[in-house]
Each structure stands twice: as C-alpha cells, then as structure tokens.
Amino acid sequence: MLSIARSELIQIFRNRLVLVTSLVMPMVVSGFFIYQHEGFAAIGSLGYIAAIMMFTVGAFGLYTTVVTTLASRRQNLFLKRLRSTAASDSEIISGLILPVTVIALVQVAVIMTALAAVTGWPDNVLLLAAAVLSMMIMMLGLGLATAGVTNSPEHAQVTTLPVSLGAIAVASWVGITGTEELAMLKRLLPGGSATELAVNAWNGGVPFTDSLLLLGPTLGWVVVAVALASRIFRWEPRR
C-alpha cells in the first residue's frame, strides 16, 4: 500500500490540473475567507467560516481529486494492472487515496490554525477535529461512489459538480440560517450535520454530548456511499 501511495504522491505533483484543484484553489479560497472574516462573520459566525473552509478543502481538494484519480487510473488500465499484484483491493484503493487524504488533512489543519491565529481559538478543538474527520470520511465515501459512474478524468469535471457544489450549498445554508427551523432536513442532508458540528465546536454554547449526536447523520452517509461504491465501482474501463 505504501509503495502505491508513494507513486500516487509523485503523480499528484506532476499533474498540474490535480495540483491546482487539490492544493492551490482550496488554499486561495480559504485565504480569502480568513482575510474577509469580519464580513463573513457578520453574515453567519466564525463557526460558519470554519465550516465553509473545511468543506472547500473536502469538496474541491479531497472529493474531486479522489474521483479524478480513480477515473484516470481506471482509464489507463493502472487499476487492472494493480489487481494482478499481491495487493488486495482495499490496499490498492487505500494506497491511491492516501496521499490526497493526508494533504487535505494538513491543509485543514493549517487553515484552521490560521483562522484561530486571526480570530482566537475555537471553543472545543476536539469537537472541531471530530467534525473535520467525519466530513472527510463522508467525502471519501462519496468520492468512491462517484468514481463508479465516472468514465474518465474529463468526465469527472461533470460528475463531481452535484456533490461538491451541493455540499458547499448545504454548509452555507446551515451555517448562515442555523437549525432552529427545518432542523431534521438540514441535518440529514450531506454535510448538514458536519457543518452544525463545526459551528458548535467553534462558537460553543451547545452541550458536548448533544453535539456528538450530530456525528450520526454524517456517518450514515458514509455507510450509504460505501454501499453504493461496492455495487457500482468498476476496475476496468466501461465499454
């Protein structure tokens, strides 16, 4: 698995499109939010800013890159060749998505630290970490599922739009309006509970145990995404 991950990391830094998508764009967008934090905090809150930046990395850095990577490796038959080695299916997939996952985690850590340095530390760092991890696991699962219906890296530019833009839209809706109204709907949508968890973690004012219950819907989406991926993921190009 580590040898696959090492090879994939090299490919990421050689591919300009992936490099811009997974590294440059999320950092630029997050930098803009931090620079304009006072204006955005007036619309939502500091927790809202943290949630939006978290999902910017998760949607455009992690999710989109996972789909593009798997579609590309399937198209050039690299996935098929890997299956002829001693590596198991889980080791192959883990090796391919490990580098971009680590990169995304580092990005979120840097971004959140920068926001904290400018505005002050969040109320509960551990709760914020739980929000970040649950969001990333969900986006990884959705990425595996989307890769199953994505025929090529070019096709990924279309197939990833509904989830990536949808996640940002849900995060904005929940972060700005809160969950006083339509709470159940907002929490059940992909990213809704993770957004509320991030907002609670940063702003405080909500009991710890109540916030932890918000992990349920996000992990539920992980189960759904993995179940879909197991049914529709393909190791060879579609004919």
Where are the domains positioned within the chain? 2-232
pLDDT score recorded for residue 93: 92
pLDDT score recorded for residue 239: 61
pLDDT score recorded for residue 7: 81
How many CB atoms sit inside 10 A of residue 20's CB? 12
**DSSP track, 206-234:** S-HHHHHTTHHHHHHHHHHHHHHHHHH--
Provide the pLDDT confidence category of residue 187 given band limits of 50, 70 and 90.
very high
| SS3 state of residue 235 | coil
pLDDT in tens, 126-185: 999 999 999 999 999 999 999 989 988 889 889 999 999 999 999 999 999 988 889 899
pLDDT score recorded for residue 158: 93
How many CB atoms sit inside 10 A of residue 161's CB? 11
Residues 6+ apart with CB under 8 A from 27: 107, 111
pLDDT: is 216 or 15 the higher one? Answer: 216
- Total-model pTM: 0.91
What tokens were used for 131? 């929000």
Residue 236 has pLDDT above 90, yes or no: no
Provide the pLDDT confidence category of residue 22 given band limits of 50, 70 and 90.
low
- CA-to-CA distance for 227 and 48, rounded, in angstroms? 30
| Percent of the chain topping pLDDT 90 | 48
Rounded mean pLDDT, 39-49: 80
Question: Are 49 and 41 spatial neighbours (Cβ–Cβ below 8 Å)?
Answer: yes
Print burial letters for 70-104: b (CB count within 10 Å at least 16), e (below 16): bbbbbbeebbeebeeeebeeebbbbbbbbbbbebb
How many CB atoms sit inside 10 A of residue 12's CB? 17
Residue 37 has pLDDT above 80, yes or no: no
How many CB atoms sit inside 10 A of residue 45's CB? 17
Residues 6+ apart with CB under 8 A from 140: 62, 63, 66, 97, 101
- CA-to-CA distance for 151 and 128, rounded, in angstroms? 35
pLDDT score recorded for residue 205: 81
Measuring CA to CA, which residue among 199, 72, 54 is closest to residue 139?
54
> Residue written as tokens 């890159």?
65
